Chain A
Amino acid sequence: MHKKVIFRGVALPAALLLPQLVITGIFFFWPAGQAVWSSFLREDAFGLSRQFVWFENFTDVLTDPNYLTVAWNTAVFSASVAVLAMGAALFLAVQADKAIRAATAFKTLLIWPYAVAPAVAAVLWLFLFHPQIGIFGRALNSAGILWDYKINGGQAMTLVIIAAAWKQVSYNFIFFLAGLQSIPKNVLEAAAIDGARPTRRFWTIIFPLISPTTFFLLVVNLVYAFFDTFGIIHALTQGGPGNATTTLIYRVYVDGVQNLNFGSSAAQSVILMALVIAMTAVQFRFIERKVHY
């Protein structure tokens, strides 16, 4: 945890740490504290009058059936994005792991979507699925399927999931590939000699060996779907139609910034904070326990 040979002094390390601590203090701890404090208040938009209301904001939020719908949407959305992005990435990684030529070329061609901003990815998919100008949108409509994600909640959710997963596949691909390539070859060869077919080899040997990677990616993908996808939702559907594509973080934004309901928004933020802390704690706990043969 620390080095054996160190330098002396207190003033210098304090000075070195100061920038990060100051910024962390002002822009992290203070707002986090403010969020907690705000969640106990009810005030008007202009800040001219405020009232301390204990846990009323929390009870209002948690008993609001719409909030529960939004929580469900978030769960469905996150699970779908994680499964889709990880499944596709694992499949591609397995293919890329095989001894083929041009593997590096394929690798390059598959990782660059990581660099695309979620909001920009949303715009690209909007061009494809727009009911009037998108190639797929028009095709679907001509085929008789009434495709308009501005009106149909299920279609909106599908589109948002596709855009979110598309972007995340490259990230998962890189880690899965690294994980696959770190499996000792002799283990696989031994299994092959024993007569195990490729599919069986995959499920009984490879998959368990990359389980730390899988678990790690699961948490990362969930966090990505929870938070980083704000841009996708805002650009594509603004949470609609109805609240079909509203996620928990999008609701924090809408309640705070559009509806000017700061107390409720702060309460929702605090709830999200608790959720993230739990997820990160789980991640760190379980990452320690690696599966080894």
Chain B
Amino acid sequence: MHTTQALAAATRRRQWRGRALAYAALSLGVLVFAFPIWMTLVGSTHDVGSIGRGDVPLWFGPHGVENYATAWTTGGAGTRNTFVVPASSMLLNSALMAALIAVGKIAISLLSAYAVVFFAFPCRMLAFWLIFITLMLPVEVRIIPTFEVMVNMGLTNTMAGLTVPLMASATATLLFRQFFLTIPDEYVEAAKMDGAGPLRFFRDVALPLSVTNIAALFVILFIYGWNQYLWPLLMVNDRALETIVVGLTKMIGTGDSQNEWNTIMATAMMALLPPVLVVVLMQRWFIKGLTETEK
């Protein structure tokens, strides 16, 4: 009895320590993740002189509104900044690009997955493998010749050139295919008995059933599109079409003229806010999307 009590007490103490450790570790983790953002956020509210001199601020300063307004409307004062593009136009480009890529990919993949699952036709497996192979080669590996193809087609510096080539990937198709395979045969039989053709079935049954998957994928793909770097770097040198992730790094320049750090920090905050918001607000779909696509 005595030893059981002692054991129970020891276990409770250990569990309490374990929980304390958990809280401590997790809080530390949260801090480590938040700290860079915090410093950037704080820095974006100060003037460029104090940052440039190295008086690193830990709390907000008075110039927040002014910095964000400058970044939004002009992209910098122009006397120091090497890359004067308004953040408003860059954010719009990024949003458009991300949305187009996400929607385009989902649409195309839905159609392809539907075709591969619900039809039997010659070369079906060939078509499936052709699509599947694209998984093996990320865009970075075929970057130069893809760029040349775009140049030859006159698609550089166009929104089409930015988005269409990125729609040719297989993850979404695989996901939808897997999902369609789980649609019970009875649904299809019932539709056929009702005289519904494949398109009706798609619109009335398959599509509504896929809504959660579509939402999950949309979150993943929107972030994927928003965060593109190498592709826009190559495709775009017309400032009007610049995206915010690439534009941000171009603002830092090579030291030809001193950096307008406060505007750069404000732009960095604006560059990461939309995708972070999407993840946080649609967290459940996001996690579902991640775990589903990797099966």
Interface residues of A in 1-45 (CB under 8 A from B): 2-10, 12-14, 16-17, 19-21, 23-24, 26-35, 38
Which B residues lie within 8 Å of A125 (CB)? 36
Q: CA A17 – CA B252 in complex, angstroms?
A: 44
Pairs across A and B, CB under 8 Å, 8 listed: A20-B109, A20-B168, A23-B168, A24-B134, A27-B146, A116-B227, A216-B294, A231-B227
Q: A8-B119, A116-B272 are in contact. List 12 more A-B contacts (CB 8 A).
A: A7-B188, A16-B111, A21-B127, A23-B167, A24-B134, A28-B168, A95-B21, A106-B30, A110-B30, A112-B276, A124-B36, A198-B18
Please tell me if the beta carbons of A127 and B119 are within 8 angstroms of each other in the complex: no
Which B residues lie within 8 Å of A266 (CB)? 144-145
B275 at the interface (CB under 8 A from A): yes
Please tell me if the beta carbons of B198 and A12 are within 8 angstroms of each other in the complex: yes
Q: CA A60 – CA B134 in complex, angstroms?
A: 28
Binding site for A on B (CB under 8 A): 14, 18-19, 21-23, 25-26, 29-30, 32-37, 39-40, 43, 51-52, 54, 56, 58, 107-109, 111-112, 114-122, 124, 127, 130-131, 134-138, 140-146, 148-149, 164-165, 167-168, 173, 181, 185, 188-189, 192, 197-199, 201, 223, 226-230, 233-234, 245-246, 248-249, 252, 261, 264-265, 268, 271-272, 275-276, 278-280, 283, 286-287, 290-291, 294
A108 at the interface (CB under 8 A from B): yes
Binding site for B on A (CB under 8 A): 2-10, 12-14, 16-17, 19-21, 23-24, 26-35, 38, 88, 91-92, 95-96, 98-100, 106, 108-128, 132-135, 138, 166, 169-171, 174-175, 178, 198, 216, 220, 223, 227, 230-231, 234-235, 249, 252-253, 256-257, 262, 265-266, 269, 272-273, 276-277, 280-281
Chain B facing A: main interface SS = helix
